[in-house]
Amino acid sequence: MAEKVLMKGNEVIAEAAIRAGCKHYFGYPITPQTEIAHYMAKKLPEIGGVFVQAESEIAAINMVYGAAAAGIRVITSSSSPGISLKQEGLSYIAGAELPCVVVNIVRCGPGLGGILPAQCDYFQAVKGGGHGDYRMVVFSPSSVQELYELTVEAFNVADRYRITSMIMGDGMLGQMMEAVEFKDEENIETVEKDWALTGTRMKREHNIITSVNVNPYELEKINEGLQAKYKKIVENEQRVEIYNCKDADVIIVAHGTVARIIKNVIETLKHEGIRVGLIRPITLWPFPTEIFEKYASVPKMFLTVELSAGQMVEDVRLALNGKKPVYFYGRMGGMIPTQKEIMDKIKSILRGDRDG
């Protein structure tokens, strides 16, 4: 067993990327994720990698496009306003079907907003912030250990499907230190990238990476190909944690850091004889729809708790398709709900208060 070390979430993302074989980082600093860039700036030159602080987020995502086209593992990181700037590049990367990893340590918006924790970029991440019919695989870790494991997995998934994997966290996760145990050998998949732009050496046909095609017949075929790929991802890559859901009166749906608070709530309410469970989506896209079919009959009602005005709750309602009432509780602007607030909400909906 490897030794446990105490590290900041942001640093663990960077370390995990390096362990996954990523030697290329392009980014532009923004709180609360700049430690990722600090770590990469220090470590990558030591292992023969490349760290570039680009002139802007737009430049950085296009450098990622270029590196990914060359077939190497590449990562960029930013926070909400910076991720908005990257949306054009993300759409192009999706169109060109290139694998890469993008980290969004979300801050509270809209606009320049603040720097405290939020989950208000859910829509942007899972419904497509850029233009066109495209998807990204979106992971929402809830501990520093999981940041490590999912960052490694994000590279595997990206390569497996030639898609962008996004790690979405918030400042609480990025800034906190927790024990992390790095495995001695990472679970790294290697994929033959015969499509990559590596130079023909006059020995093969040249590869073309592009997202442009003005022939509608061909472009529709390309889109159908993308949709077939996304369908495969929906079938194979849904990830979810189930906690205490057996016999629960209320099942809470929460992701990322909020799920940590919910677990405390569940343990506290056990002493009061109130049975509460948790469904924690680990992939936000593909949303773990299948698990809701399995658990829809268990509780009287569902409650979604988010650091937003109510975004994931829409996917919860779609997944349940009217089978059970779905209530919502959210805080915004960097406010974090206390255990007591959430417990009061649970008791209130169980009493049948009209507005929940």
Partner 1 sequence: MPVKEIIISGFGGQGILSGGKLIAYAGMLDSKNVSWLPSYGPEMRGGTANCHVVVSEEPVGSPILNSADILIAMNGPSLDKFEDYIRENGIIITDSSLVERESSREDIGFFSIPATKLAGEMGNQTFAIVILLGKMLAETQVVTKDSFISSLKKVLPEKYQYMIPDEIKALEMGMES
Where does this chain bind partner 1 (CB under 8 A)? 4, 6, 31-32, 114-116, 171-172, 175-179, 257, 260-261, 263-264, 267, 334, 336, 338-339
Nearer Cβ to partner 1 (8/324): 8
Distances (CA, A) of 83 to 79, 86, 176, 289, 309: 6, 5, 21, 26, 20
Q: How far is the CB of 262 from partner 1 (least distance, A)?
A: 8
For 88-100, the DSSP string reads HHHHHHHHHT--E
Smallest distance, Å, CB 282 to partner 1?
A: 16
In the complex, least distance from residue 331 CB atom to partner 1, rounded to whole angstroms: 12
Is the CB of 179 or the CB of 219 nearer to partner 1? 179
CB atoms within 10 A of CB 235: 10
> Smallest distance from the beta carbon of 83 to partner 1, in angstroms?
19
Concatenating the DSSP letter of every residue in 1-40 gives -PPEEEEEHHHHHHHHHHHTT--EEEE---TTSHHHHHHH
The token duo for 63 is 């450098």
Give the nearer residue to partner 1 in terms of CB position, either 126 or 252.
Answer: 252
- Distance between CA atoms of residues 305 and 266, nearest Å: 13
CB-based contacts of 351: which residues, under 8 Å, 6+ apart?
none
Residue 177 to residues 21, 144, 173: CA-CA distances in angstroms? 24, 7, 8
Q: How far is the CB of 177 from partner 1 (least distance, A)?
A: 4
- When computed from its CA atoms, the radius of gyration of the chain, rounded to whole angstroms, is 21
Is the Cβ of residue 81 or residue 114 nearer to partner 1 in the bound state?
A: 114
- CA 235, CA 284: separation in Å to the nearest integer? 14
Please state the closest distance from residue 141 (CB atom) to partner 1, in A. 14
Cα gap 56→296, rounded to integer Å? 46
Least gap, CB of 122 to partner 1 (angstroms): 20
**Cβ–Cβ under 8 Å, residues 57 and 31:** no
Q: Which is nearer to partner 1, 263 or 324 (by Cβ)?
A: 263
Q: Nearer to partner 1 by C-beta: 187 or 264?
A: 264
Q: Which CB, 67 or 115, lies closer to partner 1?
A: 115
